[in-house]
Amino acid sequence: MNPFDPHSISSLQVPHIIRLSNNWASLSLAERTEAFIRLTRAEANDFFLSLKHHDQAEIILSLPEGEQRLWIRLLPPDDLTDVLQEIPSEQRQLILEQLDTPIRKEVLGLLAYQEDEAGGLMNPRFARLRPEMTVDEAIRYLRKQATHVETTRYLYVLNHEQKLLGVVSLRKLFTAQSESQVQDLMRTSVIKATETMSQHAISELFSKSSLMAIPVVHKSGEMKGIVTVDDILEVVQEAATEDIQKLGGTEVLNEPYLKINILPLIKKRAGWLTVLFFGEMFTATAMAYFEHEIEKAVVLALFIPLIISSGGNAGSQASTLVVRALALREARLGDWWRIFVRELAIGTALGCILGFIGLMRILLWPSRLSIYGEHYVLVAITVACSLVGIVLWGSLCGSMLPFVLKKFNLDPATASAPFVATLVDVSGLIIYFSVASVILKGSML
Amino acid sequence: MNPFDPHSISSLQVPHIIRLSNNWASLSLAERTEAFIRLTRAEANDFFLSLKHHDQAEIILSLPEGEQRLWIRLLPPDDLTDVLQEIPSEQRQLILEQLDTPIRKEVLGLLAYQEDEAGGLMNPRFARLRPEMTVDEAIRYLRKQATHVETTRYLYVLNHEQKLLGVVSLRKLFTAQSESQVQDLMRTSVIKATETMSQHAISELFSKSSLMAIPVVHKSGEMKGIVTVDDILEVVQEAATEDIQKLGGTEVLNEPYLKINILPLIKKRAGWLTVLFFGEMFTATAMAYFEHEIEKAVVLALFIPLIISSGGNAGSQASTLVVRALALREARLGDWWRIFVRELAIGTALGCILGFIGLMRILLWPSRLSIYGEHYVLVAITVACSLVGIVLWGSLCGSMLPFVLKKFNLDPATASAPFVATLVDVSGLIIYFSVASVILKGSML
């Protein structure tokens, strides 16, 4: 969006616009179109500009062709490109034809980039100066450009071949002597992005540099556009949403929960749920292997859910923390060993805590003799030792799995709580029954 | 941070600075101080400004008192306030004393606000104009202010009592006639924040309005400062991290995973893990209640992990999606009924899918007769019916729990995957054994 646009200081605080904006997600398409048409032109302008690209696309498609033109013209080229990417390619062509030739050329150029790289995020309209201009000339020149550039905060100094020579902040220009030349004020070491830089790398550049805009430069040195921090805000939100959804064990929805239709939502959830179900089937196989032990000591079965889910919970904690640390680049692939050592200590400590509680639970339970039998002390020791082993094992699995995924170029966020829990369930049963067969041998087994 | 500062177009692209910046999280305090001291003054400036508040505080505390002054003066008042909030109050006092009186007053004023509300985020230095100025006067006046305000993108028009009358964009000023008056150019309906507005509400204002800065106004109408979108970027990241950590079943760390010490990390994880463990203990109680059934039909025990974890997985999906939708305000408290109905349909569908797979798994298993016994068809039907019930139940619990938490003013993100799984485990066992007692009555039970 173009925040420099006078529209952006908008009438959004008018109560019924705010209400509409808040309820938008819960309205049907027909209700939305109707509500939109009922707005005054000025309200509709503001409201349209405040919408996300997905919603803007929806409105444009719902309008008659003559009206579409009005709205697509309101958008600066980078936003228009994002909106067009939300529109199926047949209809996209029809909309492109409604644009004036120079803008169409600009938009077609931007459409060639991936949506999630610098080229796809950038706005080709930025404030430019020539190196030999004086400060007064530069300010006059700037006043001419001001209407159609995205920001005048940073002024980019280009030569005749459009190569980026340096950058001057408006502040510096404002506070300099009128006769100074731009080339003496500009900073020549400039933080810049290439067209193919990923949105993630750019958001890192932003948070490290605290710039409000970063120039996008072709490898020839030619400047192509700027990416502004407000575009990145949406990117950061979206990336977090995707990670959260993956960590919850679903595919990424790409649409608000209440807007996505039921059938695709079932599809996105059934996929992982089925995979996990197949993984979890190994528990039935493992249990069948120990059927004999269970028959002899039914009391062992009582603690199965308690034990395996504690391992899963510990694993889910570890994987979530590591996945987020990797996403924020607080931890890198090479840190796996340090994290392994940490989790070794933490897993042991947590295992001991739960093991102790488990031990006490059985030893002090009022009806321990009637439920757990004469060997209840041995059962308690079995449960406690298994808990130590399984919680430790869960912490190690949960913390290492994201690294394994990343190593194989898969998304670490796939190491969701349900995924780790399933992994730990199967191995947890084996740990539990192995511990039991050692401790209970000769008494119950 | 002050992105208008000439420092912000920095030497961060110098390779060893980038390397240092990337490795920072993994260095010890001593290594950090040493690396920092070894930088040239210009590099150190850039590097210091690129750090997060927490790291800036750490550096300041590690320097001798004479040096501290140099660095705290580099920071604009809003950032300095954030840094001081990271410093224990005894040392904070010593640092405050090193400030010049007017700045100390400004910082003390900001310290009075909560860190996470508009007052705590705002910068009191903004560009101001008087309504009766002409465009040329305004530009001249602006050139004087440019060095010490955070942005000149928006110019705030105040009367003599510092009350906010309206706002003009620099673009509008630039493109207006030289003799026009500011009051004829300004927009009087302004999006604004109160000092006590939460950071969440502000980030929503930003994403709806696509402004780069929002004025903070006291209820008397007096303008106090501005919040800029780059400050919100950090807030949005942090909020997502907190939600992710809670959803993974840990307390919020508030520090990077690799930086927090082992002991506090164990504490933050043991809390929830113990609570979940106590919850999970009810599974042992429930199982003890059905001990008789298990003794008669040990085969029932084999499917316990498979069945309860499927319910947990379905619940974790539903709770994660609903928690994120609530956080992004895509869904509101009042939507609970619509979501209940959706999850009723989705849970049934998912339950039928898994139930069918479970049925086939038992009916077609090669050694079905020897493992599951002569009544294997009935066992298969029991497992399938239980899966439908439990997956449906998990989806409903997972989707409604965040609403219940929110209703009682608790954070919906507490409805973590492990929490929902534990809840569903206990009730899942009851469903499973109830279904079994109906279907297997007279044959196995």
> What letter does residue A154 receive in the DSSP assignment?
E
What is the domain partition of chain B in residue ranges? 6-112, 128-235, 262-439
Contacts of A328 in chain B (CB under 8 A): 237, 241, 256
Q: Are the C-beta atoms of A215 and A126 separated by less than 8 Å?
A: yes
Q: Is the dihedral of CA A34, A37, A43, A47 positive or negative?
A: positive
| pLDDT computed for residue B2 by the predictor | 38
| pLDDT computed for residue B11 by the predictor | 40
Q: Is residue B223 within a helix (H) or strand (E), and if so which, with residue range?
A: strand B223-228
Q: Cβ neighbours of residue B337 under 8 Å, at least 6 residues apart? A: none
| Minimum distance, in Å, between the CA of residue A40 and any CA atom of chain B | 16
CB pairs under 8 A between A and B: 445
The more confident residue out of A183 and A273 is: A183
Residue B14: band (very low, low, confident or very high) from pLDDT cuts 50, 70, 90: low
Tell if the CB–CB gap between B208 and A50 is shorter than 8 Å: yes
| pLDDT computed for residue A10 by the predictor | 41
Among the listed residues A402, A416, A386, the one whose alpha carbon sits nearest the alpha carbon of residue A308: A386
Mean pLDDT score of chain A = 85
Nearest to B276 among A230, A266, A313 (CB): A313
User: What is Dmax (Cα atoms) for chain B?
Assistant: 98
**Angle B53-62/B65-72 helices, nearest 10 degrees?**
150
Contacts of B212 in chain A (CB under 8 A): 3, 212, 229-230
Q: Cβ neighbours of residue A401 under 8 Å, at least 6 residues apart? A: A319, A415, A419, A420, A423
H helices of B290-335, in order, are 291-296, 299-302, 304-327
B193 φ, ψ (degrees, to nearest 5):
-115, 150
Q: Is the dihedral of CA A79, A84, A85, A87 positive or negative?
A: positive
Tell if the CB–CB gap between B248 and A187 is shorter than 8 Å: no
B163 φ, ψ (degrees, to nearest 5):
-85, 140
Which of the listed ranges A441-445, B24-28, B115-119, B407-411 does the model predict with the highest average pLDDT? B407-411
| pLDDT computed for residue A230 by the predictor | 78
Contacts of A253 in chain B (CB under 8 A): 321
Q: Is B382 exposed, middle or buried (0-12, 13-18, 19+ CB in 10 A)?
A: buried
B7: left (phi > 0), else alpha (psi -120 to 50), else beta?
alpha
Mean pLDDT score of chain B = 85
| pLDDT computed for residue B15 by the predictor | 58
Tell if the CB–CB gap between B230 and A210 is shorter than 8 Å: yes
Contacts of B423 in chain A (CB under 8 A): none
Q: Lowest-pLDDT range, A297-306, B161-170, B194-203?
A: B194-203
| pLDDT computed for residue A399 by the predictor | 94
| pLDDT computed for residue B6 by the predictor | 36
| Minimum distance, in Å, between the CA of residue B169 and any CA atom of chain A | 7
Contacts of B305 in chain A (CB under 8 A): 280, 283-284, 287, 304-305, 308, 425, 429
- C-alpha span between A310 and A308 (Å, rounded): 5
**Chain A, nearest residue to B280 by Cα:** A306
Residue B240: band (very low, low, confident or very high) from pLDDT cuts 50, 70, 90: confident
Tell if the CB–CB gap between A249 and B335 is shorter than 8 Å: no
| Minimum distance, in Å, between the CA of residue B330 and any CA atom of chain A | 6
Tell if the CB–CB gap between B229 and A234 is shorter than 8 Å: no
Q: Give the model confidence (pLDDT) of A3-41 as tens digits.
A: 333 333 344 445 566 677 777 777 778 888 888 888 888
Give the tokens for residue B294. Answer: 């298990």
Q: Which of B190, B233, B259 to probe by mutation at the A interface, max A CB count within 10 Å?
A: B233
| Residue A13, SS3 per DSSP | coil
Give DSSP secondary structure letters for B120-137: HH-BS---EE-TT-BHHH
Residue B443: band (very low, low, confident or very high) from pLDDT cuts 50, 70, 90: confident
Q: Give the model confidence (pLDDT) of A323-361 as tens digits.
A: 988 887 788 888 999 999 999 999 999 999 999 999 999
Q: Are the C-beta atoms of B120 and B91 separated by less than 8 Å?
A: no
| Minimum distance, in Å, between the CA of residue B54 and any CA atom of chain A | 14
Q: Are the C-beta atoms of B9 and A314 separated by less than 8 Å?
A: no
| Residue B217, SS3 per DSSP | strand
Give DSSP secondary structure letters for B86-123: TS-HHHHHHHHTTS-HHHHHHHHHHHTS-TTBHHHH-B
Among the listed residues A240, A430, A286, A280, the one whose alpha carbon sits nearest the alpha carbon of residue B314: A280
Read off the amino acid at residue A328.
Answer: L
| pLDDT computed for residue A18 by the predictor | 66
Q: Which of A11, A171, A399 to probe by mutation at the B interface, max B CB count within 10 Å?
A: A171
Q: How confident is the model over B287-302, as a mean pLDDT?
A: 88
Nearest to A276 among B240, B298, B313 (CB): B313
Contacts of A266 in chain B (CB under 8 A): 346, 349-350
| Minimum distance, in Å, between the CA of residue A417 and any CA atom of chain B | 7
- CATH tag for A128-235 (out of 3.50.50.60, 3.10.580.10, 3.30.300.30, 3.40.710.10): 3.10.580.10
| Minimum distance, in Å, between the CA of residue B90 and any CA atom of chain A | 29
| Minimum distance, in Å, between the CA of residue B346 and any CA atom of chain A | 6
B374 φ, ψ (degrees, to nearest 5):
-70, -25
Q: How confident is the model over B195-202, as a mean pLDDT?
A: 84
Share of chain A above pLDDT 70, in %: 96
**Chain B, nearest residue to A141 by Cα:** B174
Tell if the CB–CB gap between A305 and B284 is shorter than 8 Å: yes
Tell if the CB–CB gap between A354 and B421 is shorter than 8 Å: no
- Rounded to the nearest angstrom, the gap between the alpha carbon of residue B434 and the centroid of all alpha carbons in its chain is 41
Contacts of A212 in chain B (CB under 8 A): 3, 212, 229-230
In this chain, the answer to whether the domains covering B6-112 and B128-235 adopt an identical fold is no
| pLDDT computed for residue A201 by the predictor | 82
Tell if the CB–CB gap between A284 and B302 is shorter than 8 Å: yes
Residue B236: band (very low, low, confident or very high) from pLDDT cuts 50, 70, 90: confident
CA-to-CA dists, residue A305 to A186, A426, B182, angstroms: 67, 12, 71
Q: Which of A2, A4, A424 to probe by mutation at the B interface, max B CB count within 10 Å?
A: A4
Q: Lowest-pLDDT range, A53-57, A145-149, A156-160?
A: A145-149
Buried b (16+ CB within 10 A) or exposed e, A148-171: ebbbbbbbbbbeeeeebbbbbbbb
Q: Are the C-beta atoms of A351 and B276 separated by less than 8 Å?
A: no
| Minimum distance, in Å, between the CA of residue B268 and any CA atom of chain A | 10
- Rounded to the nearest angstrom, the gap between the alpha carbon of residue B37 and the centroid of all alpha carbons in its chain is 34
Contacts of B243 in chain A (CB under 8 A): 240, 244
Tell if the CB–CB gap between A258 and B339 is shorter than 8 Å: yes
| pLDDT computed for residue A4 by the predictor | 36
Contacts of B415 in chain A (CB under 8 A): none
Q: How confident is the model over B204-226, as a mean pLDDT?
A: 86
CA angle, residues B188, B193, B196, in degrees to nearest 5:
150
Give the tokens for residue A50. Answer: 């405040």
Q: Are the C-beta atoms of B220 and B194 separated by less than 8 Å?
A: no
What's the alpha-carbon Rg for chain A, to the nearest Å? Answer: 30
| pLDDT computed for residue A15 by the predictor | 58
Contacts of A312 in chain B (CB under 8 A): 309, 418, 421
**Chain B, nearest residue to A175 by Cα:** B143
Q: How confident is the model over B316-321, as a mean pLDDT?
A: 91
Q: How confident is the model over A48-54, as a mean pLDDT?
A: 81
Nearest to B316 among A249, A299, A332 (CB): A249
Q: Are the C-beta atoms of B382 and B436 separated by less than 8 Å?
A: yes
Among the listed residues A361, A417, A355, the one whose alpha carbon sits nearest the alpha carbon of residue B418: A417
A10 φ, ψ (degrees, to nearest 5):
-115, 180
| Minimum distance, in Å, between the CA of residue A68 and any CA atom of chain B | 22
Contacts of A265 in chain B (CB under 8 A): 342, 346
Q: Are the C-beta atoms of A79 and A50 separated by less than 8 Å?
A: no
Tell if the CB–CB gap between B312 and A421 is shorter than 8 Å: yes
Among the listed residues A57, A165, A75, A88, the one whose alpha carbon sits nearest the alpha carbon of residue A123: A75
Q: Is B160 exposed, middle or buried (0-12, 13-18, 19+ CB in 10 A)?
A: exposed
Q: Which of A191, A203, A313 to probe by mutation at the B interface, max B CB count within 10 Å?
A: A313
Q: Give the model confidence (pLDDT) of A353-400 as tens digits.
A: 999 999 999 999 888 888 888 889 999 999 999 999 999 999 999 999
| Fold observed for domain A262-439 | Tetracycline Repressor; domain 2 (1.10.357)
| pLDDT computed for residue B413 by the predictor | 86
Q: Is residue B168 within a helix (H) or strand (E), and if so which, with residue range?
A: strand B164-169
CA-to-CA dists, residue B135 to A150, A323, B132, B190, B327, angstroms: 21, 53, 10, 20, 43
Question: What number does CATH give the domain B6-112?
Answer: 1.25.60.10
* Interface ipTM: 0.72
